Structure 1
């Protein structure tokens, strides 16, 4: 046991949040699970209160999940945590790192600037340009800028015809004024989650579709399986996560007919896929990493 007080920001009752809190409690004897919906920022008092606990007084905060669903409000929650950082509380991963990932476009531009291969991508507020991109790609996935586990994503195919596509594009734009779309690539029903801790590679799992769904997420019926990547694939994932300076992350990679592509780098990483697909106890390893960093 130590005298360290390290809290977990997440969703109380959710497995990944609680298993991380368990791992930290086993090492420190302290347990604090924080739902940011209940946190009060008092700038006059320089306090960030979660019930009776001032998060600014903690030694560390691990952000496992900032909100149940992503939205621009997610950015506001991260901004609140910046007060704790300024007060000397170490946040994992840093708010600066997470802020660069919660918005899908921010992540994509960083990856593109680093020369990381991705599916052909178009971003526009113009419905005409979005239609032109679908016709050019043949098939495209429209993705909300703030979403997880493929929520809100819409597949559009040129074969549907321009009239039907215009209706679908207009419906998507009603909720997503800035439209982000990527060419649909052939993944043969499988994509990869490549896990990193402190920039070091831990292992890889595959998400494998079990239905006719075009995506492989567990939310849509996929399941986890082991996967052994070669050295080149590991290096690609390492380069993809490197610009973000994350303490823990999963790089989502697809294997296409034209080589591997990176879809995104996760702001928080997945514990369940790492455990069930790769046999990695990410919560325990992450807890040890955080304690070591807090001790300095």
Structure 2
């Protein structure tokens, strides 16, 4: 019996198309779904996109809900709950991903689980944000919805324009997420898990002297062999979220390892370029096994 699995992502993007290809190779069915083109009819219980009723598919794989994280992307995930209620398996479940797209929701869950993280202050008060910066010495001001360090601002305590930059950040981000700058020593790690099982770890190594190591800022992937203790940390970090495929962002600091966040969608490119692992194939095999049971 042919299983019809749709891939929710960004048409034309490598990871989305590679994942769709993996399902096509195994089932003969290929469908890339752009949730920006979807229409939910609650009266009829239909979630339509490009003529396909997502509520009639055998499964949906979430690669990307939107090109950029935002409250609008959360609404797209809420629409998928109708497909789930109709019996369609979604990988990862919509509610699990909703808990991750807001940086604060992810941070609170990790903190409540006792995961070591950088010192962090969340506030709407400019004075409290300024005091946190002075206490931390250097801090990264992070939007609650962003990926690949977009919109983040690094500030140093005592900088002559710190007050102005905090005010500008506050204007764009009413709730300010202020995190002490960590000593990354030029690299951080992406630890990959499939259904809670460890897959591999890759490093993101800075090539440009930028304060962050993201590929968006010029970082490069490299293989990394973690200790069993580090793998256990990554496993504990991703466990509360119940994701199908994810990457845990970890940094090794002079004071020990810390976790920045758990990815809502996982690093397919990092697994490929850093570890030589075809994550799309792993996910496709796992999903097809799940929908066939």
Q: Which category of TM-score, normalised to the shorter sequence, fits these structures?
A: over 0.9
Question: What SS does the aligned partner of 1:18 have?
Answer: helix
Q: Does 1:232 pair with 2:229?
A: yes
After TM superposition, list the pairs within 5 Å mapping 1:93-104 onto structure 2.
93-104=92-103
The aligned residue for residue 21 of structure 2 is 22
Q: For residue 279 of structure 1, report the CA deviation from its aligned partner.
A: 1.1
After TM superposition, list the pairs within 5 Å mapping 1:106-117 onto structure 2.
106-117=105-116
Residues 50-75 of structure 1, C-alpha deviations (whole Å, 9 max, x = no match): 12110000000000000000110011
Query: For residues 196 and 145 of structure 1, what CA distance do their matches in structure 2 show?
Result: 24
After TM superposition, list the pairs within 5 Å mapping 1:6-155 onto structure 2.
6-155=5-154
Question: What SS does the aligned partner of 1:116 have?
Answer: coil
Q: For residue 212 of structure 1, report the CA deviation from its aligned partner.
A: 1.4
Query: For residues 293 and 101 of structure 1, what CA distance do their matches in structure 2 show?
Result: 23
Query: For residues 74 and 52 of structure 1, what CA distance do their matches in structure 2 show?
Result: 21
The aligned residue for residue 160 of structure 1 is 159
TM-score (norm 2): 0.99
Question: What SS does the aligned partner of 2:99 have?
Answer: helix
Deviation beyond 6 Å, 4+ runs, structure 1: none
Query: For residues 264 and 149 of structure 1, what CA distance do their matches in structure 2 show?
Result: 12
Residues 238-267 of structure 1, C-alpha deviations (whole Å, 9 max, x = no match): 000000000000000000000000000000
Q: For residue 159 of structure 1, report the CA deviation from its aligned partner.
A: 3.2
Residues 125-178 of structure 1, C-alpha deviations (whole Å, 9 max, x = no match): 0000000000000000000000001000000000314xx211100100111000
Query: For residues 57 and 145 of structure 1, what CA distance do their matches in structure 2 show?
Result: 34
In structure 2, runs of 5+ residues without a counterpart are: none
In structure 1, runs of 5+ residues without a counterpart are: none
Query: For residues 225 and 197 of structure 2, what CA distance do their matches in structure 1 show?
Result: 16
Number of residue pairs the alignment of both structures matches: 293
Query: For residues 85 and 191 of structure 1, what CA distance do their matches in structure 2 show?
Result: 35
Q: For residue 221 of structure 1, report the CA deviation from its aligned partner.
A: 0.3
